[in-house]
Structure 1
Amino acid sequence: MNVFQITPTNVYPPSDGGQHRSHGLVTSFPTHGDVVYRYCQGGHLENYFRGDLQQTIQIEDGYRELQHLHPLFDLTRLPELFGLPNVFLGASLRLLKPAVFQRRIDWADVILVELPWQVPAVTSLSDSTPVVYSSHNVEQERFESTSNGFIGDRFTSRVSTIERTALEQAAAVVCTSERDISEYRRRYDVQTNYIVSPNGVGRETVWSEEPRESASRTVRREHDISTDMIGLFVGTDYGPNREAAHELVRIATEAAERGLDMHFLIVGSVGESITTQRDNVTCTGFVSDLDPYFAAADIGLNPIDSGSGTNIKLLEYLAKRLPVVTTDFGRRGFQITHEQEALVVPVTAFTDSIARLVSERTLRERLAANGHEYVRETHLWERISTDLRVQLSNVIAEYS
């Protein structure tokens, strides 16, 4: 099977949740003899200065990524600077029509388009190859939660139009959960072939043993943390993550008032949007390696109450053997049970749940073990990708 994957930006090596999903979904294909060619509508900006506007990365045998830089692509990304969706990305692809792009469309048995922006453009260029829309979120739901003002509302309306078109034109739609399928049906009433491919983590990210103490000591020394326990929140600078980080500052205040010996680490670019003078809160900003912070943490915190899709960060906490406190919204799309794999409580009850975990070592150990087993058994990318491969083979057979 020849798979042509199209993404709105470079993917490999993956760093954020969307990149991990784009890579993870196809990670098993080459082991089955398939060929994956990924076309990225963007790349590393420093390549402009090197004159390397089309960079090909050989990830492994049968798996390559072309990162294509072009001023037209970057011009259409300007709305992202204001927190708006890049709804013009598909138009730039249609205008440019890269030669390599058309060749790969003719070569492919199936085209996997990550996110809805390029789906109309790709379907207009593809006559006989099935186009599968690979959804990361219900985009209208995602952006309407952060839309603000007339311009934001206009962009959200445009998102709705593009998303509906993507659902209508695609031969199949890959979703992160049954919840997203229900949301698509409720919002658009489009009947199509929906496929569930949940979010996951790579086998290499699932810790089989306790983390190294040296990494933990390094983090504590670097950020001058002397408390017995650390609560960790990881996130990019995205509206729902910002809301969650502000909640964590409030929770940290409550924890200090109750005398809890707990330090709160907010790791990732979301911390660059948070201002706090609290002694028990540290915002690191972007870090290139999260593992030392997972090693230093005692509890994973997921106070998410808005957004769309599913939270990969929740799986990462569990994969790193952390006991977790999450909201019900934060566990959406996962079969996570309160008191079994995590403590699932309203954000207003986080301080109480943290206090429980601080005082009950047996509970921490049980949640950590159960959560780790849940991820290992049901959310490894290798397994998810193999299942998707079967589904895509069925789409090809039905389309031919």
Structure 2
Amino acid sequence: MRILWVSHLVPNPPKAGVLLRSHYLVKELAKHHEVDLLAFSQKGLLAPYFNSVEEGLEKSKEVLESMCGKVEFFECPVDKSKFSKIWCALYSLVSAHPYNINWLKSSAFGECLERWHKENPYDLIHFDTISLAPYAAGVSNTTLALDHHNVESHMLIRRAGLESNWLKKLYFWQEGKRLEALEKKYCPQFQTNITCSDLDSERFESFIPAANFKTIPNGVDTEFFKPGNNLPAAKRLIFIGTLDWYPNTRAVQYLAHKVWPLLKDKHPDMQVDIIGSKPPADLVELAKKDSRFKVHGFVDDLTPYLEQATVYVCPIDDGGGTKLKLLDAFAAGKAVVAHPVACEGLYVTDEKNVLLADSPQKYVEAIERLISDNTLRQQIEKNARQHAVDNFSFASIGKQLADHYMQINADHKR
């Protein structure tokens, strides 16, 4: 099959979150079908990993052209100036579409998509987020697939419920409700809608029964992330994530200001490693005052930090989709203490392959159990690794997607 992958981001490098999923799905899909790539470039996703955005685009194009046929990038509309994002957010309050649609509006991008399809028609076009759905109106005589990294409307409404600032609360709520209406409109127009978990599929089906949903779970490179040869330190906690993504920001601040104060006096030999680009200022200040609370920023090689970690702590209680950072931790054979929301869609079992917590005291109790009981910790580590291998290998997930697209295209032609 000839497939066009239309993306809201350059799916490289495979370092974190959505970049990991998109990169590996493109890579695995290209092993089974011919794939072209048309993508917006987001400066904020490229800048942490390269010396410049220009270098990132050049190196990413080289990597992606080794997998795909044609590859072309367009500048993300809200990156054109420092005011573009603010203007788009304000404009979206009075426009027909919410921000989640307006931020990717580009006539040049749409014209390129239509031209490529006209010149050499695709069997299937994959749109990698609901924000790209309007572009499907410009093509015909092809199978259409829409990917949902999260149930975006649910994520925004949940965020509104957790927000204390009433202006932000109102903005997120109206954005979520408007986006929900567009999900109801667009999803049935696609022959298949891809989700990251059965839970997300069920959420969509509950309010869009007319659309077809298929779970293609998030994955992990189980050959890259694997248990180390060295024993972990006695008392070393770790959190990894892009730190300006609001669920990660909220989680790491919770760890710093709610959990760490209860632990640090009881365990003077304990250390925390916070890893990820763009750490919030309050954590940077805390690290200056507390030498045991270390904020490293972006690091290119996570291996030594993961090997040293006794417990991976993930107090994420917001967001959507499934958390790739936890799949990395499971594959690396780490004992994880996490909020139930962080584990949504990962099919984990409390006390078997993870310990769940939902309050500062419960995090402390779970962490103390793991650092004091080596038998429990080692069993959790072993079970977590096996869970990742059995259920979330990228190779098997990519094959699932390739086979599904073959079947859905055949069904659509019939």
| Band of TM-score, shorter chain | 0.7 to 0.9
Gap change, CA 1:71 and 1:323, over 3 Å in 2: closer
Q: Aligned partners of 1:233, 1:80: CA distance in 2, in Å?
A: 34
Candidates 245, 265, 277, aligned match of 2:273: 265
Q: Is 1:204 the equivalent of 2:211?
A: no
Report the CA distance shift for 1:19/1:65 in structure 2 as closer, same or farther (over 3 A). Answer: farther
Q: Whole-Å Cα distance in 2 between the matches of residues 346 and 374 of structure 1?
A: 22
Number of positions where the alignment pairs a residue of Structure 1 with one of Structure 2: 382
**CA distance in structure 2 between the partners assigned to 1:354 and 1:129 by the alignment:** 52
Are 2:379 and 1:366 equivalent residues in the alignment? yes
**1:64-213 map, 5 Å:** 64=69, 66-70=71-75, 72=77, 74-75=79-80, 78-79=85-86, 86-92=100-106, 94=107, 96-99=109-112, 102-104=115-117, 106-121=120-135, 123-147=136-160, 148-186=168-206, 188-207=207-226, 209-210=228-229
SS at match of 2:150: coil
The equivalent residue for 1:24 is 24
| Structure 1 match to 2:164 | none
Residues 363-399 of structure 1: CA distance to partner in whole angstroms, max 9, x if unpaired?
A: 1111111111111121011001111111111110111
User: Quick one: structure 1 residues 26 and 69, their matched pair in 2 at CA, closer, same or farther if it must change by over 3 Å?
Assistant: closer
Shift of 1:7: 0.8
Report the more deviating stretch, 71-80 or 165-174.
71-80
Contact 1:27 1:382 (8 Å CA) reproduced: no
Please say if residues 7 and 40 of structure 1, whose CA atoms lie closer than 8 Å, have aligned partners that are also in contact: yes
**Whole-angstrom CA distance in 2 between matches of 1:35 and 1:96:** 21
Contact 2:312 2:329 in 1 (8 A): yes
Instruction: Output the amino acid matched with 1:280.
Output: R
TM-aligned CA deviation for residue 230 of structure 1: 1.1
Q: Does 1:244 align with 2:251?
A: yes
The reply on whether 1:37 has 2:44 as its aligned counterpart is no
* Pair 312,65 (structure 1): closer, same or farther in 2 beyond 3 Å: farther
User: Contact 1:241–1:270 at 8 Å: present in 2 too?
Assistant: no
Q: Percent same amino acid at aligned positions?
A: 21
- 2:338 corresponds to which of 310, 326, 332: 326
Q: Aligned equivalents of 1:197 and 1:114: distance in 2?
A: 13
Distance apart, 1:58 and its partner CA: 5.0
CA distance in 1, matches of 2:301, 2:241: 13
Distance in 2 separating the partners of 1:230 and 1:125: 53
Letter in 2 for 1:120: P
- Write out aligned runs for 1:307-326 (5 A): 307-326=319-338
SS in 1 for 2:101: coil
Q: Could you list the per-position Cα deviations for residues 199-250 of structure 1 after superposition, in whole angstroms to 9, with x for gaps in the alignment?
A: 1112332325425x8xx9xxxxxxxxxx842111112222221221122112
Aligned to 1:221: none
* 1:272–1:283 contact (8 Å) kept in structure 2: no
Q: 2:192, 2:213 within 8 Å by CA — same for their partners in 1?
A: yes
Q: Counterpart of 2:68?
A: 63
Query: Is contact 1:168–1:192 with CA below 8 Å preserved after alignment?
Result: yes
Deviation of the 1:162 alpha carbon = 3.4
CA distance in 2, matches of 1:177, 1:86: 21
For residue 22 of structure 1, give the secondary structure of its aligned residue in structure 2.
Answer: helix
Query: Which structure 2 residues correspond to residues 219-298 of structure 1 after superposition, within 5 A?
Result: 228-236=234-242, 237-249=244-256, 250-259=258-267, 261-269=269-277, 271-275=279-283, 276=286, 277-298=289-310
Give unmatched runs, 5+ long, in structure 2: 91-97, 161-167
* C-alpha distance in structure 2 between counterparts of 1:207 and 1:53, whole Å: 30
Equivalent-residue separation in structure 1 for 2:24 and 2:67 (angstroms): 15
Q: Is the 8 A contact 2:37 2:70 kept in 1?
A: yes
Q: Which residue of 2 aligns with 1:381?
A: 394
Q: Deviation string for 1:288-332 (max 9, x for gaps)?
A: 332332122121111111211111111111111111111222211
3-state SS, counterpart of residue 280 of structure 2: helix
- Structure 1 residues 35 and 322: CA distance shift in structure 2, 3 A: same
CA contact (8 A) 1:135 1:176 kept: yes
Aligned residue identity for 1:240:
P
Question: How many angstroms does 1:356 deviate by?
Answer: 0.7
Q: Do the aligned partners of 2:10 and 2:40 also contact (CA within 8 Å) in 1?
A: yes
Post-superposition Cα deviations, 1:242-266, rounded to whole Å, max 9, x if no partner, equal 2211221121111123236321112
Change in 2 beyond 3 A, CA 1:99/1:82: closer
Q: Is the 8 A contact 1:272 1:285 kept in 2?
A: no
SS of the aligned residue for 2:219 comes to coil
What SS class does the counterpart of residue 145 from structure 1 fall into? helix
Q: Cα deviations across residues 154-195 of structure 1 (Å, max 9, x unaligned)? A: 433443343333312211111111111121133x33422211
Any conservation in 2 of the 1:9–1:42 contact (CA below 8 Å)? yes
